[in-house]
């Protein structure tokens, strides 16, 4: 029985782990002399992917509900700026709360426009992305805002627990909460039902408008947490933080085996998807390639991986 | 007559899906200039046969001849090149383009620069419309036209593509009476030009009005071919339903006198123009049938009861108390369950497992503080699978991998797990094989025996007759007749009433 079941496991559903393994081994051999396998480098990969992981976990819910959120990068940047300014002028707690408030405000606006007004999330969040980045640039006049509050920096990103980077705690927490919520709670089932077949979900008594609102809200609030993590790790708020992260997060989710059409979501897959994206970034940097070539190769690898991972 | 060349001849066509034979050596032929009715229950094989003719499906065996010569049709394109045109039930027009642009969609007139030639398109569209005797402004956007004119545009599109054979699937389903007349005039005009028309319809009066011959399919076999002058409506109905099914679904003779007081009352229900001032009562343990043609307002009525559509007027009382049902959540809270007519789009999440589909209607009862209670879920799901005989009984299999009948059992199972008091079923046996049909009818009876009230919509009258205690005949959104089961002699009698033919 067990063996028969094992055989039935879809090749595609485990693909992300194979891809991760293959690329990891390839880099281990090719980049051995560049220090790829050194524990410092490996921890670095985890640290650098933490923000993407956190956002990608929330993105898994959005995509499972058959929506998309392109504004998360902008929300992260705006949050880092607002938090930095508030920490400087008013203090730690005000900084954190103001940062999270950005997520609430943008998320509520996205959610209302998508769920109530009925505008496709693609358009809403594409526009919102510009609004958020623009605001962040406007209030800081394009200048970075340094954060001198050590407590803030320690909590969000720069701190360690023993030798263990604090950022890892954030990404593990996000993965665990995300996994439990998606697989073990009624909310997770409602999200998947809404994304799987909105009509049927509505016939089943699921308030699909509420679900769509909630996933958009969660995505923005989590993006604002990611913004705080940027601010803490880099000890600055800057409008550019998070730029382009929406694409990395979406790539991580799809690589992880979540269907772009909604109705199925895999949090653990997303985690490995995010790690894979981070791994590729790290490897290309270690290989000493110029940024332009990094971008080309990263883009091609992601297209190839998604092409292999897609369900239909 | 023996030398007549048929415009279409389908010989001994067989087709199976997943080992289930849906067409069994069916032959079907249409003469030039003939309107030929194709009749049969849902699932009898009509649409499969037509899809083979259009190249959507490939046949397992058999032969197709067009104008006497054998052809192979592998795609829609092939069919069109052979002069086969289809008028879709769901129109295939682009609403934001003009009538003329739609008629010549994908064979646009080009000017000498290779650009779209609007002038020529309009001119040619005019010519096509004139030839059909229609006066439609071909420069109007399709979205501004009524349903009937959209349909006529669809026909014009097929004719402009040089269709010699035209397939019409339930063309009058959403047309008003005058519009039907206009359509028939166009069809008669076409036949005088030698065009053959295959006319799929459930409406007996229309078939007699416009068709020359009829072919009847049942359970994938051709049962009869006849000239309409030689066959009576009763004979047609008998061929369509098959008498033996009636025996299998015999009425079990419950009397409606056993009911005491109503627990569900509807008064003056108004939903747009589709449901007109409908009032009725439902009793515990009663099975109430809703009969009526497609588009009569049956579905709209139950949709409104379940809170899917907005009610403009009217009240619903449960146990004598007025209740507000604004959405399916309200309806479920008051003990209603709704098995919808389109299980693939409305009933199930096809990519999810049986377990997750059953779970989807029972999330609050199978969880504790929002956390799913897996031991309880597994036992409820396994019980449901056993009780409703879902085959194969694998809880973790995606429902899209099940047969239509077993998918429908999953829908029924997930709703019965909510322990409803009122069960609404809309065409629960569509696309389900005869064996499962009988099982579903048994299930409905057992639901009523548990004291639950049932409202059953069905186009298959033998089903209504076999299980219902009372039947409401719906016509144009109104209750045209309210009949006790014992007031109805037999299926033919009910058919006449549904058709509005008074005997």
User: What structural domains does chain A harbor?
Assistant: 35-309 (1.10.3470)
Structure confidence at residue B236 (pLDDT): 84
Return the pLDDT at A54: 97
Give the pLDDT score at B84: 92
- Report yes or no: A263 at the B interface, CB cutoff 8 Å: yes
Contacts of B414 in chain A (CB under 8 A): 204
Nearest CA in chain B to A180: B371
Contacts of A263 in chain B (CB under 8 A): 349, 351-352
Q: Say what the pLDDT of residue B250 is.
A: 58
Q: What is the CA radius of gyration of chain B?
A: 25
Please state, in angstroms and rounded to a whole number, the distance separating the CA atoms of residues B452 and B445.
10
Within an 8 Å CB–CB cutoff, is residue A13 touching chain B? no
Q: Flag if A189 and B347 touch (Cβ within 8 Å).
A: no
Of B329, B347, B364, the CB nearest to A186: B364
Mean pLDDT value of segment A154-166 = 85
A301: closest CA of chain B, how far (Å): 29
Please answer yes or no on whether B370 and A263 come within 8 Å at the CB atom: no
Chain A contacts in chain B segment 413-452 (CB below 8 A): 414
Q: Identify which of B146, B170, B163 has the alpha carbon closest to the alpha carbon of residue B93.
A: B146
Predicted pLDDT of residue A311: 54
Distance CA B64, CA B52 (A): 9
Candidate from A7-21, A158-172, A265-279, B243-257 with smallest mean pLDDT: B243-257
Q: What residue in A sits closest to B418 (Cα-Cα)? A: A204
CA-based nearest residue in chain B for residue A185 = B371
Nearest to A263 among B327, B346, B352 (CB): B352
Instruction: Name every chain A residue with its beta carbon within 8 A of the beta carbon of B349.
Output: 192-193, 196-197, 200-201, 263
B123 to chain A, any CB pair closer than 8 A? The answer is: no
Domain boundary assignment for chain B: 8-244, 245-335+421-432+451-503, 343-419
Task: Using alpha carbons only, give the angle B434, B283, B487 rounded to the nearest 5 degrees.
Answer: 65
pLDDT of residue A2: 40
Find which of A187, A203, A266 to mutate to test the B interface (most B CBs within 10 Å of its CB). A203
Chain B touched by A181 (CB under 8 Å): no
CATH topology match: B8-244 vs B245-335+421-432+451-503? yes
CA B359 to chain A, closest CA, distance in angstroms equals 8
* Maximal C-alpha separation, chain A: 64
> Taking a C-beta distance cutoff of 8 angstroms, is the pair A201, B327 a contact?
no
Test mutation, B305, B363, B399, chain A, max A CBs within 10 A: B363
Which helix (H) or strand (E) segment holds residue A153: the answer is: helix A150-153
Could you give the ipTM of this predicted complex?
0.87
B245-335+421-432+451-503, superfamily in CATH?
P-loop containing nucleotide triphosphate hydrolases (3.40.50.300)
Q: CA-based Rg of chain A, rounded to a whole angstrom? A: 19
User: In Å, how far are A149, A252, A258, B343 from B399, measured between CA atoms?
Assistant: 55, 28, 19, 11
Q: Does residue B356 sit at the A interface (CB-CB below 8 Å)?
A: yes
Q: What are the C-alpha distances in Å from B86 to residues A93, B148, B189?
A: 68, 16, 17
Question: Least CB-CB distance to A263: which of B338, B347, B349?
Answer: B349
Give me the pLDDT at residue A11, please.
64
Q: What is the mean pLDDT of each run of 10 residues along chain B (503 residues)?
A: 77 85 92 92 81 90 92 89 80 84 80 78 88 84 81 84 86 72 87 92 83 92 92 82 57 59 94 92 94 85 94 94 96 96 90 95 94 96 93 90 87 95 92 75 90 91 88 92 87 81 62
Model confidence at A231: pLDDT above 90 = yes
A44 touches chain B (CB under 8 A): no
What integer pLDDT is reported at residue A221 of this predicted model? 98
* Residues of A in Cβ contact (< 8 Å) with B346: 199-200, 203
Nearest CA among A238, A7, A244 for reference residue A136: A238
Q: Which residues of B371-388 are buried (b: 16+ CB within 10 A; e: fewer)?
A: ebeeeebeebbeebbeeb
Q: Is B338 on the interface with A (CB under 8 A)?
A: yes
Q: Does B295 touch chain A (CB under 8 A)?
A: no
Q: State whether B372 and A202 contact (CB < 8 Å).
A: no
Helices (H), B361-449: 374-387, 404-416, 434-449
In a 3-state reduction of DSSP, which class is residue B64? strand
Contact (CB, 8 A) for B421 and B38: no
Coil, helix or strand at residue B98: strand
A195 to chain B, any CB pair closer than 8 A? The answer is no
Please identify among residues 316-335 of chain B the ones whose CB lies closer than 8 Å to any CB of chain A.
Answer: 327-329, 331-332
Residue A4 pLDDT > 50: no
Class of the domain covering B8-244: alpha beta
DSSP string, A273-300: HHHHHHHHHHHHHHTT--HHHHHHHHHH
Nearest Cα residue in chain B from A206: B329
């Amino acid at each position: 029985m067990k063996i028969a079941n094992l055989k039935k496991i879809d090749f595609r559903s485990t693909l992300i782990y194979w891809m991760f393994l293959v690329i990891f081994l390839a880099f281990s051999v090719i980049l051995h002399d560049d220090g790829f396998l050194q524990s410092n480098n490996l921890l670095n990969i985890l640290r650098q992917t933490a923000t993407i992981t956190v956002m990608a976990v929330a993105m898994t819910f959005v995509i499972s509900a058959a929506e998309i959120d392109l504004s998360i990068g902008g929300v992260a940047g705006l949050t880092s700026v607002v938090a930095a300014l508030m920490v400087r002028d008013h203090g730690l707690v005000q900084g954190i709360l103001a940062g999270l408030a950005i997520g609430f405000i943008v998320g509520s606006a996205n959610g209302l426009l998508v769920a109530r007004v009925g505008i496709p999330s693609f358009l809403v969040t594409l526009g919102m992305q510009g609004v958020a980045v623009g605001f962040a640039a406007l209030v800081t006049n394009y200048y970075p805002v340094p954060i001198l509050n050590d407590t803030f920096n320690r909590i969000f990103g720069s701190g360690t627990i023993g030798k263990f980077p604090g950022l890892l705690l954030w990404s593990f927490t996000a993965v665990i909460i995300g996994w439990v919520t998606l697989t073990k709670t009624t909310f997770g089932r409602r999200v998947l039902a809404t994304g799987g077949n909105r009509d049927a979900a509505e016939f089943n008594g699921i308030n699909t408008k509420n679900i769509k609102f909630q996933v958009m809200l969660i995505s923005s609030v989590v993006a604002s947490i990611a913004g705080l993590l940027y601010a803490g790790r880099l000890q600055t708020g800057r409008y550019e933080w998070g730029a382009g992260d929406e694409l990395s997060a979406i790539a991580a989710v799809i690589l992880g085996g979540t269907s772009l059409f909604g109705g199925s979501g895999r949090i653990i897959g997303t985690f490995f998807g995010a790690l894979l994206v981070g791994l590729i970034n790290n490897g290309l940097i270690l290989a000493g390639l110029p940024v332009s070539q990094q971008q080309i190769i990263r883009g091609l690898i992601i297209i190839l991986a998604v092409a292999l991972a897609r369900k239909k | 007559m023996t030398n007549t060349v048929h415009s279409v001849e389908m010989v001994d066509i067989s087709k199976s899906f997943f080992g289930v034979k849906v067409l069994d050596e069916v032959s079907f032929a249409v003469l030039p200039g003939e309107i030929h009715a194709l009749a049969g229950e849902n699932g009898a094989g009509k649409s499969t046969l037509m899809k083979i003719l259009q190249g959507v499906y490939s046949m397992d065996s058999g032969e197709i001849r067009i104008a006497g010569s054998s052809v192979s049709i592998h795609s829609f394109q092939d069919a069109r090149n052979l002069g086969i045109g289809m008028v879709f039930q769901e129109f295939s027009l682009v609403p934001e383009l003009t009538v003329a642009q739609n008629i010549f969609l994908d064979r646009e007139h080009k000017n000498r620069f290779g650009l779209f030639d609007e002038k020529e398109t309009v001119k040619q569209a005019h010519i096509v419309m004139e030839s059909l005797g229609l006066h439609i402004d071909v420069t109007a956007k399709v979205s501004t036209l009524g349903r009937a004119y959209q349909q006529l545009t669809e026909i014009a599109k097929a004719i402009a593509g040089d269709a010699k054979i035209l397939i019409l699937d339930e063309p009058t389903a959403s047309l008003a009476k005058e519009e039907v007349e206009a359509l028939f005039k166009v069809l008669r005009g076409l036949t005088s030009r030698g065009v053959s028309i295959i006319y799929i319809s459930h409406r007996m009066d229309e078939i007699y009005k416009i068709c020359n011959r009829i072919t009847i399919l049942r359970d994938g076999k051709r049962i009869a071919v006849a000239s309409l002058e030689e066959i009576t409506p009763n004979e047609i109905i008998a061929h369509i339903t098959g008498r033996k099914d009636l025996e299998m679904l015999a009425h079990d003779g419950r009397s409606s006198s056993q009911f005491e007081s109503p627990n569900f009352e509807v008064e003056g229900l108004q939903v747009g123009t589709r449901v007109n001032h409908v009032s009725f009562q439902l009793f515990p343990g009663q099975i109430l049938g809703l009969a009526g043609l497609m588009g009569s307002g049956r579905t709209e009525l139950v949709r409104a009861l379940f809170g899917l559509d907005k009610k403009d007027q009217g009240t619903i009382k449960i146990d004598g108390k007025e209740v507000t049902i604004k959405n399916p959540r309200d309806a479920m809270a008051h003990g209603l369950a709704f098995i919808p007519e389109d299980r693939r789009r409305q009933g199930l999440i096809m990519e999810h497992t049986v377990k997750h589909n059953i779970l989807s209607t029972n999330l609050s009862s199978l969880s504790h503080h929002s956390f799913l209670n897996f031991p309880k879920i597994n036992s409820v799901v396994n019980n449901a699978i056993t009780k409703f005989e879902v085959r194969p009984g694998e809880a973790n299999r995606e429902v899209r991998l099940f047969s239509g009948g077993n998918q429908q059992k999953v829908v029924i199972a997930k709703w019965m797990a909510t322990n409803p008091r009122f069960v609404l079923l809309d065409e629960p046996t569509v696309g389900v094989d005869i064996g499962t049909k009988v099982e579903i009818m048994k299930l409905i009876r057992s639901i009523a025996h548990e004291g639950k009230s049932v409202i059953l919509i069905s186009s298959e009258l033998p089903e209504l007759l076999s299980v219902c205690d009372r039947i409401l005949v719906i016509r144009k959104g109104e209750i045209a007749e309210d009949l006790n089961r014992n007031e109805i002699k037999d299926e033919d009698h009910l058919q006449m009433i549904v058709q509005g033919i008074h005997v």
